[in-house]
Structures are given as structure tokens and as C-alpha cells.
């Protein structure tokens, strides 16, 4: 298909304009508002005890969620690619469920399950506060980030096949040695993408977390909840911009890390 030069230029302009309007402008606006009163004001706003506590909590949740997702995600991907068992199709669908279900529904479901009066509500009596506590926020985040590692690792496992692993076994490697020395290095890029997506999503999760968090500043607010409460409850618009910029900075740093890794990979 050949397109005339004006048509091609027109198409590019429209596509670019769409991107700028929908993505670049809002982000630029937040950055501008955050740094408008100067860098000092920004730093001060993100160094309040509540903001620091929110940052710590967000990072803590990421630190718990990522390893769990790596272990269970790789396990699930292996089962889905290599395993032959009844209900495999169902498992495939269940893995995709978090993509389809609205996070707020997840929050409600978790309250029903873990809240007082829920099936597992009894754990509160044992002194474990799930809903309105850290465990609830972790479980909610686990739920929404569950598909990322599985779906990134799965195609790589398909692609590498099992011959390398069979070769390792004929050379004397046990299943465990084969996994660490052959399988894991072979899927490491898929796994890295999965982890990056998990981090970005875990940092940004709002709907599910707000349902299961008590939302006390300095105690149970993640960065997204901090942005929300500063804007809605405190009418502190500037504080919300600053916190949003911090959140965005973390996400950009994650993406940047991935891009650097990607470059390293393609040059080898």
C-alpha cells in the first residue's frame, strides 16, 4: 500500500497529537504544578512524616508482593506450560481474572472473605488484622498483580522448550540444578519484565487497596492513598501534586531500569 506524503504526514500528526493530549499533557501539567513553587517546596511536601510513611508502606508492599509473585508466578507458568492436568483451561482463565475484574470488586470480595463475619474473619480473633491492616493491602495487591509474572514467563517457557533441560539431565544435573542453571537463566528476561510490571502496578494500585485500608495518615496510607486523601480530605492540592510526582518518579525509575536492562540484553 502506498500513501501520499500529505496523507502520511496527516496520520502521523493525528497519532502524535492523540498521545500528547492524553498522556504527555496531564503528566507535564502535574510536573509543572509540583515544581512551580520551587524544588524546596516539593522536597518539603514529600518529606512530611505522613508522606515518608506512605512511601515506606508502598515500598514495603512492593517488597513483599514481588518475591511472592516471582515464586508463585514461575510455578504457575511451569504448571501451565509443562503440566498436563484436568482443569488446566480453568486455571488459564483464573490467571486472567485480575485483568478483567475491577480492583474495587477485589476489595469488596476481600472484605467479605477476611472481614469480621467473613469466612476467614476468625483470624481477627487470633490477633491478625487482615482487613484494615497490612496483610489486607498485601493480599489486594497480590490479587491485582498476579497475572504479570505468569503471562510474561509463559511464552518464554513455550519458546525454549524442554530440550535444554533434557540435555542437562543427561549430563547429570538434578531437577533442582537444572532449574537453577538452565530454566531460570533462560526465562530471566520474561521474569524481569514480569517483575517490572508487578512493581509498577503494585505502586499504583488504588481501588483494591482503598477498600481494605484503614487509611490513617502515617500508618496505613500508601502513596496512592496519600494523593487521594491530600486532595479530597485535606484540600491540599499542592501536596497531592507533589505526592503524585513522587509516585510517578518511582514508576519512571522502574521503567528506566527496565530499558537499561533491555539495552544490555540486546548488546550481548
Partner 1 sequence: MITVTGARKSYGDFTALDDVSLEIPAGTLTALLGPSGSGKSTLLRAIAGLEGLDGGRVVIGGRDVTGVPPQKRGIGFVFQHYAAFKHMTVRDNVAFGLTIRKRPKAEIARKVDDLLEIVGLDGFQHRYPAQLSGGQRQRMALARALAVDPEVLLLDEPFGALDAKVRADLRQWLRRLHDEVHVTTVLVTHDQEEALDVADRIAVLNKGRIEQVGDPVALYDRPANDFVMSFLGSVARLGGQLVRPHDIALHRTRERALQLDARVGGSPGVIEAVVERVVRLGFEVRVDLRADTGERFAAQLTRAEADALALQAGDTVFAHTVQAVNPAEAEPALAI
* Rounded least distance, CB 167 to partner 1, Å: 4
* Rounded least distance, CB 82 to partner 1, Å: 15
Which of 40, 117, 171, 235 binds partner 1 (CB under 8 A)? It is 171
| 176 is an interface residue for partner 1 by CB under 8 A | no
Here's the x/- map for partner 1, 181-220, by CB under 8 A: it reads as xx--xx-x--------------------------------
SS (H, E, C) 44-77: HHHCCHHHHHHHHHHHHHHHHHHHHHHHHHHHHH
Nearer to partner 1, 4 or 170 (CB): 170
Q: Residue 78 class from Cβ within 10 Å (0-12 exposed, 13-18 middle, 19+ buried)?
A: middle
Which of 174, 233, 234, 252 binds partner 1 (CB under 8 A)? It is 174
Q: Do 195 and 70 contact (CB within 8 A), yes or no?
A: yes
* Rounded least distance, CB 234 to partner 1, Å: 51
Q: Do 247 and 199 contact (CB within 8 A), yes or no?
A: no
**CA dist., res. 141 & res. 65, Å (int):** 7
**CA dist., res. 215 & res. 161, Å (int):** 47
Which of 48, 129, 164, 214 binds partner 1 (CB under 8 A)? It is 164
- Binding residues for partner 1, rule: CB under 8 A, are 163-164, 166-174, 177, 181-182, 185-186, 188, 268
Amino acid at each position: 500500500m502506498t500513501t501520499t506524503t500529505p496523507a502520511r504526514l496527516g496520520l502521523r500528526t493525528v497519532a502524535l497529537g492523540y498521545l500528547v493530549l492524553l498522556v504527555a499533557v496531564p503528566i507535564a501539567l502535574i510536573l509543572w504544578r509540583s515544581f512551580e513553587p520551587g524544588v524546596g517546596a516539593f522536597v518539603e511536601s514529600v518529606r512530611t512524616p505522613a508522606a515518608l510513611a506512605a512511601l515506606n508502606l508502598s515500598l514495603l508492599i512492593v517488597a513483599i508482593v514481588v518475591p511472592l509473585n516471582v515464586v508463585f508466578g514461575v510455578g504457575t507458568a511451569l504448571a501451565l506450560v509443562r503440566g498436563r492436568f484436568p482443569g488446566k483451561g480453568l486455571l488459564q482463565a483464573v490467571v486472567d481474572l485480575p485483568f478483567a475484574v475491577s480492583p474495587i470488586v477485589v476489595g469488596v470480595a476481600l472484605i467479605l472473605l477476611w472481614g469480621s463475619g467473613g469466612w476467614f474473619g476468625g483470624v481477627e480473633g487470633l490477633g491478625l488484622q487482615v482487613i484494615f491492616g497490612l496483610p489486607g493491602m498485601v493480599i489486594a495487591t497480590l490479587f491485582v498483580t498476579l497475572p504479570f509474572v505468569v503471562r510474561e514467563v509463559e511464552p518464554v517457557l513455550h519458546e525454549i522448550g524442554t530440550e535444554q533441560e533434557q540435555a542437562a539431565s543427561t549430563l547429570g544435573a538434578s531437577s533442582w540444578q537444572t532449574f537453577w542453571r538452565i530454566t531460570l537463566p533462560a526465562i530471566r528476561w520474561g521474569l524481569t519484565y514480569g517483575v517490572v510490571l508487578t512493581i509498577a502496578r503494585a505502586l499504583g494500585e488504588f481501588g483494591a487497596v482503598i477498600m481494605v485500608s484503614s487509611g490513617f495518615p502515617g500508618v496505613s496510607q500508601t502513596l496512592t492513598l496519600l494523593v487521594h486523601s491530600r486532595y479530597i480530605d485535606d484540600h491540599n492540592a499542592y501536596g497531592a501534586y507533589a505526592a503524585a510526582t513522587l509516585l510517578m518518579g518511582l514508576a519512571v525509575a522502574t521503567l528506566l531500569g527496565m530499558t537499561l536492562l533491555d539495552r544490555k540484553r540486546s548488546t550481548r
